[in-house]
Amino acid sequence: MKLQRIKEIQTLIIRLAIVALIAFAGYWIYHLFFKGKLVNDEIILDETPLKVEQIRSILELNTLKFQDEAVVDTVEYYKSNAEAFLGSLDKLMDIDQVKHGLSGNGIKRRLTLIMKGELLYGVDLKRKDFQFISKEDSLIIVIPKPELLSVSLNPKGTEVYIENGEWKDYERVYLQRKARHKMIATGDRLKLPERAKVPLEKALRSLVKTNKKLIIKFEE
């Protein structure tokens, strides 16, 4: 009985040692790899509570706005000299189109617009959220890379440069889409998504206060 009792005590000691070892390992895994500690929707950084919603608001509000304008044009030519002659006569009978009837350039219709718009670049947290990676000497914040969030065209700011002939609404809508594509191409050429990182990083560094080295990364 005494020998059996000793074996039971030994077994208990071994089990307690295993539990302690697992707890110790878990502690270090937690500190090395844990991505943010959520407590009542708060992230604890160096004992300082930081609202998750604050981070989201900062990322969503800090955007890069770019005002742009695009010149878009569409032209249709007469198919024959006879059609050009009759078309010119029709324009000469219309007080708004007289100058185009006298041009003799073979253009049946032409519409040239100068359109103004605004491009908005920032982080879309509806598709992907940010992450925290806490290490011994550093805190890493990983956020989605900035992208084009919206393109807003201003119909009131549209200037009609040339309007030769009659144009329907759907044809004007086509030019609006053309202007939109040109503005997006301009934003890409100016590397605006990359430039949008600057205000985001600045805002995060002013908000997140920590004694650790703060590293901000953008996802690829």
Contact 132, 36 (CB under 8 A): yes
Domain residue ranges in the chain: 1-36, 60-76+109-218
Higher pLDDT, 209 or 7: 209
Contact 220, 145 (CB under 8 A): yes
% of the chain surpassing 90 pLDDT? 31
For the chain, what is the total number of helices (H) and then of strands (E)? 7, 8
Using CA atoms, how far apart are residues 126 and 168, in angstroms rounded to an integer? Answer: 38
Higher pLDDT, 132 or 44: 132
Out of 11-15, 126-130, 205-209, 216-220, least confident range: 11-15
User: Which tens digits make up the pLDDT trace of 60-109?
Assistant: 888 899 999 999 999 989 888 877 777 777 777 777 786 777 676 888 88
